[in-house]
Amino acid sequence: MIPLPHQAAKAAIQQALQEDAGSGDVTTAALFPTPCAARATLVARQHAVAAGVIIARDTFLAVDPTLRITHVAEEGTPVREGVPLLEVTGDGRSLLMAERVALNFLQRLSGIATLTAQFCHAVRGYRTKIFDTRKTTPGLRLLEKWAVRIGGGHNHRQNLSDGILIKDNHLALLRAMGRSVADACRIARERAPHGLRIIVEVDRLAQVRDALEGKADIILLDNMTPEEVHHAVDLIKGRALVEVSGGITLGNVREMAAAGADFISIGALTHSAPAVDISMELVPHRQKTARRRRP
């Protein structure tokens, strides 16, 4: 089981509930002035990889700790249409108040895990690893990157302090100072914290040669075709690891893996993953009472 970042989840749940509740659920309060027992079942309406079930559970419990959880699907479980992911019983008013926030988390994170799993499946048979990027929803990065791992992918940098990645805009500023790609790699290695790998982004073969001269650890080939990636891999000859990014789709990711990419980083995993269709079915629920024993 990949551990959930619990503190980040707790903070996100509290913020989302405050955002959604406002000064209170006026519709539910008007219709149901007294408690009404109900059972809520969160059901997948399509094939998916479940992610965020625990966060959805904790959302209900944050609204009402007296709610009872009677079923929780395991994170990372491939589910079919109609499969229940979570079942909660208790005061129907609390279930209604938590519904939208719980579903938002579950649909969003399951969408990321499902898309990641599709990319991982597409490169099966190759050594290539699928990575995410920092193109995440502000405030939800830890949860979204967790969902990528649930789907079988890997995390790139968590934040700007997590690694040296020399991008095109860094290079543009350095060029104005008369510095090359090789210079950028050398400067970064001299001045950066010890132990961090040097990744440099290039978009043409001439820059690949410069990156090799600068002894980059990873050369990131940006927006290249599979043929260009193949040529770059031949040029690198194992002297650096090869990362590919930019314009990656389910239609071309296998070609990129076949061209020799060690890593493929895909922003779409977090910025464009479609939400999974999950609904909450709510029904009245009669509490069971214990039978009295006969004397």
Show the tokens assigned to 288: 């069971």
CB 240 within 8 A of CB 217: yes
Is 201 catalytic? The answer is yes
222 among known catalytic residues: yes
Active site residue 215: no
- Which one of 87, 99, 222, 243 is the catalytic residue? 222
Q: Which listed residue (201, 210, 243, 254) is catalytic?
A: 201
Phi, psi of 113 (to 5 degrees): -65, -40
Q: Which contiguous run of DSSP H or E holds residue 243? A: strand 241-245
State the catalytic residue, choosing from 100, 157, 179, 209: 100
Helix (H, G, I), strand (E, B) or coil at 239: coil
- What number of helices (H) and strands (E) belong to the chain? 11, 12
3-state secondary structure 159-220: CHHHCEEECHHHHHHHHCCCCCHHHHHHHHHHHCCCCCCEEEEECCHHHHHHHHHCCCCEEE
Of 119, 256, 123, the C-alpha closest to 111 is 119
Of 10, 167, 215, 239, catalytic: 167
- Find the catalytic residue in 129, 134, 135, 179: 135
First-last CA distance in the chain: 49
Q: Which residues are catalytic?
A: 100, 135, 167, 201, 222
